[in-house]
Amino acid sequence: MEKENFLYFAESDVATTGEALCPPASAFLGLDPISAITTRLSFKAQSGAAADDDVLITHANISADPDIHKRIAEWVARMLSNPAGKFIVAADDELDVYNEGVNATVANSGLLMSTVAVTKA
């Protein structure tokens, strides 16, 4: 059995709404810069639906960090490529935990993430 990483994303009110997502790395479809302060991560729907499961991350403004979208892509690549195969808390708004287990020595990976919105297909 091949080891695989699972990435956990949760909204701030996950305890009451259940809005969280924990896809395997193999379900990752892509990353899209949506605005100066948001980036969308898309995963193959866990439900099997044709639409994607998406995670919208609000982060530092591109005017303050012109490389923010590139740095988000690098952060995602580190999580996806971890050879150990593990559960990674990528962004948990409820517990205010970001990037656990991947470069955890840098608080919030220096990306200044502030909110996570999960949309499931």
Classify residue 48: in a domain, yes or no. Answer: yes
Q: Give me the phi and psi of 105, to 5 degrees please.
A: -70, -20
Classify residue 11: in a domain, yes or no. Answer: yes
Question: What letter represents residue 34's amino acid?
Answer: I
31 within 8 A of 40, measured Cβ to Cβ: yes
Domain enclosing residue 82, as ranges:
6-119
pLDDT tier, 92 (very low <50, low <70, confident <90, very high otherwise): confident
Tokens at residue 103, please?
A: 């470069």
Threshold 0.85, pTM exceeds: no
Q: What is the pLDDT of residues 99-111, one digit of tens each?
A: 644 444 344 455 6
Classify residue 101: in a domain, yes or no. Answer: yes
Q: What is the pLDDT of residues 1-42, one digit of tens each?
A: 467 889 988 888 887 777 899 999 999 999 999 999 999 999
pLDDT tier, 44 (very low <50, low <70, confident <90, very high otherwise): very high
- The domain total for the chain is 1
Classify residue 1: in a domain, yes or no. Answer: no
Q: Give me the phi and psi of 79, to 5 degrees please.
A: -70, -45
Helix (H, G, I), strand (E, B) or coil at 71: helix
Rg (CA), the chain: 14
Q: Which of 88, 112, 86, 116 is nearest to 102 (CA)?
A: 88
Q: What is the pLDDT of residues 45-69, one digit of tens each?
A: 988 888 999 999 888 888 988 988 8
Classify residue 64: in a domain, yes or no. Answer: yes
Classify residue 40: in a domain, yes or no. Answer: yes
